[in-house]
Amino acid sequence: MQLYRFLTADDSSDFCHKVSAALAKGWVLYGDPTYAYDSANEVMRCGQAVVKEVEGTYSPDLKLGDQ
C-alpha cells in the first residue's frame, strides 16, 4: 500500500531536518514544496508531501511517522 504524509513547519532548518528524516526512513518527495505566510503567527510556513510503499493494510490508527 502507499502511504501519504504532508509535512509542515515554520520556515527554518527544523523543517529541512523533518523532511530529511522522512527521506532517511524511505519516504519519497511527492510534488512541489509549498511556502505561505501564516498571518495568525506572523511567520512563513513550509510544506512538503511525501509518500512511501509499505506492506500491510491501511488503518486510520497507523502511526505514519513510525513507518
Could you tell me if 19 and 7 are in contact, meaning their C-beta atoms sit under 8 angstroms apart? yes
Q: Which grid cell is 67?
A: 513507518
Biggest alpha carbon distance in the chain? Answer: 41
Residue-level pLDDT at 66: 85
Residue-level pLDDT at 67: 85
> Whole-angstrom Cα distance, residue 16 to residue 37?
17
Element housing 42 (H / E)? none
Query: 15 by DSSP, 3-state: which?
Result: helix
| Per-residue tens of pLDDT for the chain, all 67 residues | 999 999 999 999 999 999 999 999 999 999 999 999 999 999 999 999 999 999 989 889 888 888 8
Residue-level pLDDT at 1: 93
Residue recorded with cell 500491510: 56
| Domain-wise residue ranges, the chain | 2-56
